[in-house]
Amino acid sequence: MIFTVAIDGPAAAGKGTISKAVAAHFGFGHLDTGVLYRAVGAKGGDPIAAARTLEPEDLNRADLRTLDAGQAASRVAAIPEVRAALVAFQRDFARREGGAVLDGRDIGTVICPNADVKLFVTATAEVRANRRHAELGGDYDLVLREVIERDMRDAGRADAPMRVADDAIVLDTSDLSIEEAVEQAIRVVAARKA
């Protein structure tokens, strides 16, 4: 069975948690595509060469979740050749036997425009900055500035900008608990799968 769930949205909206829970619930594979861009940014040197030679062990680096790694990822993600080098891997994963959940920015629009389910998970910048701050600490105002800066870069780039696919369902998690958000996402997927 091939069944693809595309989950897009801005940083810290809850995509990762929701994607993992949906994958676990239905027994699907899960690919956090942000990790690919984080790994390219973290490798340093020429980002195009880094994307073309990305190895599985690059995805296991311990320093990929920091704010700096997120900013570096967002910068290299604006380079069309970097994005092009990562397309085939993501599309292959989406068509893996047994079902797949991919989360990112352009899954429903560019990587898997024919996905069986598309969700766009979002929340206000302040709520997302609060969540990032609770997770990583540091200065709240700086975290908020970085969230807004990254949103603008990811949505403003020319190649595969972050946007809501025409046929995506928007899930705003600003006023939802993790459990409520996961439950709503599972309900949407279950309805399409039936």
Counting other chains too, the contacts that 185-192 makes at CB distance below 8 Å and 24 or more residues apart are: 185/7, 185/18, 185/21, 185/22, 185/119, 185/121, 186/21, 186/22, 186/25, 188/117, 188/119, 189/5, 189/22, 189/25, 189/26, 189/117, 192/116, 192/117
166 or 187: CB nearest ligand DC = 166
96 or 163: CB nearest ligand DC = 163
Going by their DSSP bridges, the two strands 169-172 and 29-32 should be labelled as: unpaired
> Does 73 engage in binding with ligand DC (CB under 6 A)?
yes
Size of the site for ligand DC (CB under 6 A): 15
Q: Lay out the site mask for ligand DC across 135-174 (x = CB under 6 A, - = otherwise).
A: ---------------x---x--------------------
Question: Which of 19, 74, 122, 173: binder of ligand DC (CB under 6 A)?
Answer: 74
| 3-state SS class at 160 | coil
> Does 104 engage in binding with ligand DC (CB under 6 A)?
yes
Question: Which of 14, 34, 99, 108: binder of ligand DC (CB under 6 A)?
Answer: 34
Number of Cβ within 10 Å of residue 46's Cβ equals 12
Alpha carbons within 13 A on the beta-carbon side of 7 = 33
The token duo for 145 is 């500035």
CB 30 within 8 A of CB 20: yes
Sequence letter at residue 128: R
65 or 193: CB nearest ligand DC = 65
> Does 77 engage in binding with ligand DC (CB under 6 A)?
yes
Distance in angstroms (rounded) separating the CA atoms of residues 115 and 40: 26
In whole angstroms, the minimum distance from the beta carbon of 175 to ligand DC comes to: 22
In whole angstroms, the minimum distance from the beta carbon of 11 to ligand DC comes to: 4
Question: Which of 4, 106, 115, 189: binder of ligand DC (CB under 6 A)?
Answer: 106
Question: Which of 37, 47, 118, 143: binder of ligand DC (CB under 6 A)?
Answer: 37
Contact residues for ligand DC (CB under 6 A)?
11, 33-34, 37-38, 70, 73-74, 77, 104-107, 150, 154
